[in-house]
Structure 1
């Protein structure tokens, strides 16, 4: 009877812990902080249509330069950023130090009385050696299409954008912002990330822990306690 009651209590406790853990982990799923401190997109400004003069040979409303391509140049236009970031850092530090000391002394009298000659000597030696090696490597490859949110006075384009990819257990966030020179835009409106000024590139994730995984972890915990 006691064992049955003990099993019921353990079962209720297990269910309570699983439920509380699920609520806790679901509450922890939030949009991660961003280093991009500007709008993610911008709508193009409304352009007042030019009244066409159908009686003239030159139609202002239909004018388009003969050699002009479709490169982004206005707020709301889009450009694709090819992210090709590869950073390697290496740090080496080495320090050596040594110190030697010697002392010698002799005593011929003690409290006004002559004593046989006595001598004392001592020596010490200390050495210190430190060595530190640190290495870091980061690779980030991908692509993201961003929006022109501002046209600077010199013609450069301030761009920004975000891409979200959702999976079973959370959402991945890819964010990008920077300043693009129109001369860096290649055919197809592509720009490599290493030619973007003031670039801010980030990849973050918002992961939710599956309830089944929590239940399995808690069950293993109680099984390990039962073995004791």
Structure 2
């Protein structure tokens, strides 16, 4: 009895889950030369900080901020149908022993087997909004590596939006905004924790019946 109780506790422990946490993000700002910048040759002009009179304020350097407009929408549909049939039969004719009369030994075996199955799955997701990120690095080819995270506290629930990836300077608009569809190697995560997230998760008994260990 004690062994059964211990086994039951182990099975119940397997149904427990760790609350989802947002992915870790390096929120530290990139290394930027600090201190008072001086001009070259005793002048007051600083080439690294100079702006053209008609230039815009798009993010071009490490430490600049950039607003990403989230425009994500995905839809996937999958369907599969399987069917197979198999028929087999064996027939034994009356046997004749030593030239005598035929014995009533005629018999037959018929076997039929068939299987039919179908499955379908449809999934649709959408994410809209905006998040402002920081340029962490400028690659030699001009790509900007961006990272950022937004945390919202709504009615005792925490919502996290995390984004990272690479963008081209020419894809950034004059208003210093860029669509999330223009981000290469994009990693976008939207998670949450709190009462709302707990309400959307299945209970331990439901997870037990849906686990692969259930024989039914």
Q: What is the CA–CA distance in structure 2 between the aligned matches of 1:33 and 1:110, rounded to whole Å?
A: 83
Structure 1 stretches of 5 or more lacking a match?
A: 1-27, 210-228
Question: Could you report, residue by residue, the CA deviation over 1:161-187 in whole angstroms, capped at 9, with x for unpaired residues?
Answer: 111111232211111111010011012
> Does structure 2 conserve the Cα–Cα contact (< 8 Å) formed by 1:145 and 1:161?
yes
- Of structures 1 and 2, the larger Rg is shown by 1
TM superposition shift of 1:84: 0.6
What is the CA RMSD across the aligned residues, in angstroms?
Answer: 2.9
Q: Distance in 2 between matches of 1:123 and 1:31?
A: 56
Query: Which stretches of structure 1, 4 residues or more, deviate above 3 A after TM superposition?
Result: 28-31, 51-54, 61-64, 109-115
Q: What residue is the counterpart of 1:95 in the other structure?
A: 82
Q: Does 1:135 align with 2:118?
A: no
Alignment gaps of 5+ in structure 2: 1-16, 197-216
Give the total of aligned pairs.
Answer: 176
**Are 1:84 and 2:71 an aligned pair?**
yes
Structure 1 residues 31 and 135: CA distance shift in structure 2, 3 A: closer
Contact 2:22 2:192 in 1 (8 A): no
CA contact (8 A) 1:81 1:192 kept: yes
Q: Secondary structure in 1 aligned to 2:170? A: helix
Residue of structure 1 in register with 2:45 after alignment: 60
- After superposition, the Cα gap between the structure-2 partners of 1:142 and 1:112, relative to the gap in structure 1 and judged at 3 Å, is farther
1:1-228 alignment, distance < 5 Å: 32-34=21-23, 38-43=25-30, 45-46=32-33, 48-50=37-39, 60-61=45-46, 63-108=50-95, 116-208=103-195
Distance 2:54 2:39 in 1: 22
Residues 111 and 70 of structure 1: CA distance in aligned 2, closer, same or farther (over 3 Å): farther
TM-score w.r.t. length of structure 2: 0.71
TM-score (norm 1): 0.67
| 1:106 shift after superposition | 2.5
Q: Does the CA contact (< 8 Å) of 1:100 and 1:124 recur in 2? A: yes
